[in-house]
Amino acid sequence: MASGAAGAAPTGTGRPPLEEEEEMPELSDDEEAWEKEEEEEEEGTAEGPQTRCLFCDRLFSFAEDLFSHCEIEHEFNVGDVINKNGLDFYGYIKLINFVRLKKPTAAYLNSLCSPLPWEGEEYLKPELEDDLLLQFDIEDLCEPSNVLSSNGLNDTTMLLEQLKHAEHRANLAEAALVRAQDDLQKMKQFAQDFVMNADVRSRSSANAIADLHEDEDGVYFSSYGHYGIHEEMLKDKVRTESYRDFIYQNPHLFKDKVVLDVGCGTGILSMFAAKAGAKQVIGVDQSEIVYQAMDIIRLNKLENIITLVKGRIEEVDLPLEKVDVIISEWMGYFLLFESMLDSVIYAKDKYLAEGGSVYPDTCTISLVAVGDMNKHVDKLVFWEDVYGFDMSCMKKAVIPEAVVEVLDPNTIISAASVIKRIKCNAASIPDLEFSEEFTLTIRTSTRCTAIAGYFDIFFEKDCHHKVMFSTGPCCTKTHWKQTVFLLEKPIPVEAGEALRGKITVCKNRKDPRSLFITLSVKDAKQTYSLQ
């Protein structure tokens, strides 16, 4: 296959000059068109297809010129990438279409190693119509002399260009080293100051952290004072109907019982319990929504059964000493976000009568492996060119932040692994921080780009009709969605492989309602925040 524009005519006609007395033979239409094309090319007026540069808007009529431009202006050598990654012709095609579609920087492409983000079959589809680069014979890319000669540059000119770029990179590296040394010195000084003033700081910090916790709790409860968040939860049919079905289908658990609803919100669970035959229901909530709940209770003529109390369960005085049943919808993202289970456990230890029950009574947290290269590329490569500006430093902020979103079930590449089971009737607050090893059995050969977590809820203890629901990616969507932990570097996996790892879940000491989650998978380790 010819490189550049295939089938280009030679620059000369290859015919001897005709003497004046010779009669010019008539030319066919094809011959006239061919001769005209030759003349136009010699005069430089021929119009042919042009292809845009991989990194800027400059147009080129020949692939060789484009590649030379990329090497000189953008420091990107296509031949080097082909050789480095052992690309065949189809791999080269995918590379070109990937660059056209995702618009990564040259620096990002030069830094890549296996697995490559353009390995998906979708990158065989041309992104640019009539792209000259897709007609190029990649064998020519491995011969730098061809590119040089086609561009009319001699070896000396190219060498000077390379030396200039090398010098520029050396200057940047030297400046970075100076900054690093300066930062190191500042860190040493900070450490010395920290140790010298530890006693003073510990006393002032204790007061500051206490104030901070109080402020954060205020923000937390304030967020539940707005009707919008309650509307979202009530419209979550999986959530609300599961609680309704559990209560209405097991009236024997509530008949003539005293029930405590921790974090009652609009009072929906309290009203379910009253309708199921509860003798008395106490609902507790710190947020302002409790005043709306009082109106709701009166509207439904249940004020003789249901009493609402505003305040934290840890601080209020209830109008009784013991209750028979505790119900609560306390679950947050990844089950434990918001730490409301702490309040349920406090209520259990203080108010639950002997033989009483907490519902839901069992909860599990599970992990699955995710393989979604497109989303992985979009979340990371995006920052490399934002309206022409390099924001790649933002990756350091993107990766450690857990993402709450609805996963495409087709991207799940492993069986689920339960990493935590909580028995609410026996749980203690220290149980809510843990480390567990896990194994994910891979179902398909691909690359693992993330680990995702979700939870399942069970109403089972003494139930005639057991009820459960799941927030997993293969089940009906809930407002809890799934929690996704993006891996910095995708991990190649094979079907049937046992992908092993370890997870550690602990509270953020500065904000106990948020979580720090550390994942170790193969040789990679990353701590994520959920807040």
Structural domain boundaries of the chain? 51-158, 227-329, 362-530
| Equal fold, 227-329 vs 362-530 | no
Residue 386 structure tokens = 């934002």
Catalytic, out of 64, 338, 384, 497: 338
Q: What is the pLDDT of residue 223?
A: 40
Are 402 and 529 in contact, with CB atoms under 8 Å apart? yes
Catalytic, out of 64, 71, 329, 497: 329
Q: What is the pLDDT of residue 288?
A: 86
Choose the CATH number for 227-329 among 3.40.50.1820, 3.40.50.150, 1.10.3720.10, 3.40.50.720: 3.40.50.150
Q: What is the pLDDT of residue 197?
A: 54
The CATH code that applies to domain 362-530 is 2.70.160.11
- List, for residues 295-305, the tens digit of each pLDDT value: 999 999 999 99
Q: Which residues pair with 440 in a beta bridge?
A: 499
Per the rule left: phi > 0, alpha: psi between -120 and 50, beta: everything else, 167 is alpha
Reply yes or no on whether 338 is catalytic.
Answer: yes
Q: What is the pLDDT of residue 304?
A: 96
Q: What is the pLDDT of residue 13?
A: 38
DSSP 8-state assignment for residue 514:
E
Residues of the chain with pLDDT under 50: 1-25, 33-34, 37, 39-46, 143-153, 199-214, 216, 218-226
Cβ atoms within 10 Å of 150's Cβ, excluding its own: 17
- List, for residues 39-52, the tens digit of each pLDDT value: 444 443 445 788 89
Are 426 and 361 in contact, with CB atoms under 8 Å apart? no
Are 126 and 66 in contact, with CB atoms under 8 Å apart? no
